[in-house]
């Protein structure tokens, strides 16, 4: 396998408490720490391990967004990616347009594997890997908690209700990863310095022949209501009566 493409999304750091803008137009990002989507970081770590095992020759980190996403791509390069591609676009992009971008890049680069996080922690769509596999016409394995590459095949373990399910797909393929697949490596200062010299290419989404547009429009955002104070009851009968009063049973 020659190349692995890994998707990286810029999101609000998972340790930061998310706040809604005062006008309700979205999530506050000014002055907020931004990071690589945790699932994407796991996908990148797995790609690097595959390359280090001698089963791939190049790892390409890809992000779709504004120029600010260069920061996350540089982090990906510091982790060990060989080069990065930033597909620039103004505003948000719907999952289908993102899948189209990855299809074009996978065909252009001749990728043997596309590794993506199972979802982003901001939109929580969990749609791009499945859409990409359908558009690209290649097999998919989703929510990988374990995987291995054997020649032209990938064997993936998935956690399901009954236990662990193992599926095998022919490469090229699309695989989305879950949390328990691995523990991403820490980025060291020398690697950060080296990453500055690695190639980072910027391409407009229009140059890929894709007209991006939000198929789903977002009306407004609002913070969840504060948690109400609990009520103490003396016995089960009182609990059932209270639930009945509130129309919950």
| CATH number reported for the structural domain that contains residue 171 in this entry | 3.40.50.620
- Given this model, what pLDDT does residue 214 score? 65
- Given this model, what pLDDT does residue 212 score? 74
- Given this model, what pLDDT does residue 31 score? 81
Q: What is the mean pLDDT of each run of 10 residues along the chain (249 residues)?
A: 92 85 76 91 96 94 93 94 93 88 95 95 89 96 94 92 93 94 92 91 91 72 80 89 86
- Given this model, what pLDDT does residue 36 score? 94
Q: Count of domains in the chain? A: 1
- Given this model, what pLDDT does residue 204 score? 92
Q: How far is CA 11 from CA 122, 126, 137, 176, 203, in A?
A: 7, 15, 29, 18, 20
- Given this model, what pLDDT does residue 90 score? 81
Structural domain boundaries, residue 145: 3-245
């Amino acid at each position: 396998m020659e190349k692995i493409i890994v998707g990286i999304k810029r999101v609000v750091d998972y340790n930061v408490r998310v706040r809604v803008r005062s006008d309700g137009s979205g999530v506050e990002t000014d002055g907020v720490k931004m990071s690589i989507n945790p699932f994407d970081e796991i996908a990148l770590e797995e790609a690097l391990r595959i390359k280090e095992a001698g089963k791939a020759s190049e790892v390409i980190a890809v992000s779709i967004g504004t120029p600010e996403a260069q920061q996350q791509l540089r982090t990906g390069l510091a982790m060990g990616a060989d080069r990065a591609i930033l597909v620039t676009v103004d505003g948000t992009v719907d999952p289908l347009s993102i899948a189209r971008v990855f299809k074009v890049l996978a065909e252009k680069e001749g990728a043997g594997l596309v590794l993506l996080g199972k979802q982003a922690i901001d939109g929580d769509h969990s749609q791009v890997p499945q859409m990409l596999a359908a558009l690209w016409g290649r097999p998919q394995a989703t929510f990988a908690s374990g995987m291995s590459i054997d020649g032209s095949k990938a064997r993936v373990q998935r956690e399901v209700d009954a236990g662990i399910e193992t599926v095998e797909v022919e490469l090229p393929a699309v695989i989305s990863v879950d949390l328990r697949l691995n523990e991403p490596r820490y980025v060291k200062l020398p690697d950060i310095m080296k990453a500055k010299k690695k190639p980072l290419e910027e391409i407009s989404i229009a140059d890929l022949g894709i007209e991006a547009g939000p198929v789903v429009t977002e009306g407004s955002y609002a913070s969840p209501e504060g948690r109400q104070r609990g009520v103490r009851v003396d016995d089960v009968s009182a609990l059932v009566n209270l639930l009945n009063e509130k129309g919950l049973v």
